[in-house]
Amino acid sequence: MQRSLFIIKPDAVKRNLIGRILSYMEAADLTVVGLRMVDMTMEVAAGFYKVHEGKEFYDKLVEYMSSGRSVVVVLEGEDAINRIRKICGATDPSKADEGTIRAAFGISITMNSVHASDSTESAGQEVPYFFPDLG
Ligand code: CMP
């Protein structure tokens, strides 16, 4: 069993897509073990994406992630990290396979509707960032 941090980003929350996006995960037998809505400050968003600090897209990403409410979720399941990333699709929605969340709902590479931990190492940092009790 693995745990992964999953985020429904502001563009998707604003468009009332929380339920539809979570249903992709539940349909794949991934279990919600933590969930809350967060209104990220610039500091919280910057800390979460610290690994990208210095990249050309970083400032825009931090500004966007603090532009509205997100839903942060901890999902648990067999091979959860890889399976969730496949369900999300490529980072750039225009390159995401049909049937994935980003192909269905993503607007742009920044407004790509969802985030998911990309490794056991990142999950190990990202889960306790928002859920200290679940680390
Ligand atoms: P996410 O999976 O949340 O991880 C980092 C985010 O940075 C990514 O999704 C995108 O929303 C955003 N981003 C913006 N531009 C790029 C880029 N050129 N390459 C990767 N990520 C980008």
**CATH number for 15:** 3.30.70.141
Contact between 118 and 88 under an 8 Å Cβ cutoff? The reply is no
The domain containing residue 107 runs over which residues? Answer: 2-117
Residue 133 included in any domain: no
| Total count of domains within the chain | 1
**Ligand 1 residue neighbourhood (C-beta within 6 Å):** 52, 57, 61, 91, 109-110, 112, 115
Give CA separation, 60 vs 14, 38, 72, 78, in Å: 18, 19, 20, 34
Q: Which of 61, 85, 95, 130 to probe ligand 1 with, by most ligand atoms within 8 A of CB?
A: 61
CA atoms 86, 31, 128, 79: torsion sign: negative
Residue 88 included in any domain: yes
Q: How confident is the model at residue 135 (pLDDT cuts 50, 70, 90)?
A: low
Nearest CA to ligand 1 atom 18: 57
Chain mean pLDDT for the chain: 97
Q: How confident is the model at residue 12 (pLDDT cuts 50, 70, 90)?
A: very high
CA of 124 to the centre of ligand 1 (A): 19
Q: For the segment 51-104, what is each residue's pLDDT rounded down to a tens digit?
A: 999 999 999 999 999 999 999 999 999 999 999 999 999 999 999 999 999 999
